[in-house]
Amino acid sequence: MSSWDLLRHACLAACHAQLGQDAEARAAAARALESVRTEFAGETVDAVGRWLAYVECMFRFRRPADWKHLLEGFRKAGFPV
């Protein structure tokens, strides 16, 4: 799975979570998290933390509240944020 696929699944998970679609959110988050752990396997850094830093670089929100909203969606979906 590519980085774009990871990003797609993570954002899909956040969207489902913010809409209250918990089962769909957790399924998408599980797929994204498994791929994150596989992609960063063997590295000494926290894979999820590193990936979240990547997501933050990819999304340049003008309003900090928008970034917080995305993080809240990740948290609701089951991401360790």
Instruction: Give pTM, 2 decimals.
Output: 0.82
State whether the Cα torsion 48-53-56-58 is positive or negative.
negative
Place of tokens 């933390």: 49
Return the pLDDT at 57. Answer: 86
Contact 57, 31 (CB under 8 A): no
pLDDT tens by residue, 51-66: 788 888 888 889 999 9
Please tell me the total count of domains within the chain: 1
pLDDT tens by residue, 28-41: 999 988 887 777 77
State the residue range of the domain holding 40. Answer: 3-77
Residue from 64, 63, 73, 80 nearest 11 by CA: 73
Place of tokens 């399924």: 27
